Structure 1
């Protein structure tokens, strides 16, 4: 896990990705087996409320904008 400007970010490997999620950046599926990132506000200890799964590229674009 790492901190990025107020967000806690965790990289998820393809082997650890076992569910389908919808990326909030592009609104497309992140299918099982796809490496991606999970991010939540750093002030939220477990990230259970605001935790979102993002395509890695979508997360990078979002953080640059």
Structure 2
């Protein structure tokens, strides 16, 4: 884990450098799909938002993850959605 940057923190891992922000359940108002498990994150569920550090502030690169999926991402990687 890296340093904290106010509302977000930086994390480094074998998959690169990330900016990570915790989203408390009270602030989670939309449904998102977790790239780690491909299940929905329902409103009211605490989770994290992460994006590559080199894309700081880029909305297009932000992904919402279940906390456990984020922590396990290097062991199993993101799922691939089939359309």
Place the TM-score, normalised by the shorter chain, in its bin. Answer: over 0.9
Deviation at 1:57, TM superposition (A): 0.2
Query: Which structure would you say has the larger RCO, counting Cα contacts within 8 Å and 6 or more residues apart?
Result: 1
Gaps of 5+ in 1: none
Matched, 1:13 2:24: yes
Per-residue deviation, residues 8-42 of structure 1 (Å, max 9, x unmatched): 00000000000000000000000000000000001
Gaps of 5+ in 2: 1-7, 76-83
Structure of larger gyration radius: 2
Matched, 1:4 2:15: no
Task: Please identify which structure carries the higher helix content.
Answer: 2
Find runs of 4+ consecutive structure 1 residues off by over 3 angstroms. Answer: none
Aligned to 2:78: none
Find the aligned partners of 1:23 and 1:43 in 2 and give their Cα distance: 21
Q: What root-mean-square deviation, in Å, do the aligned CA atoms of Structure 1 and Structure 2 show?
A: 0.8
Matched, 1:49 2:56: no
Helix, strand or coil at the partner of 1:38? strand
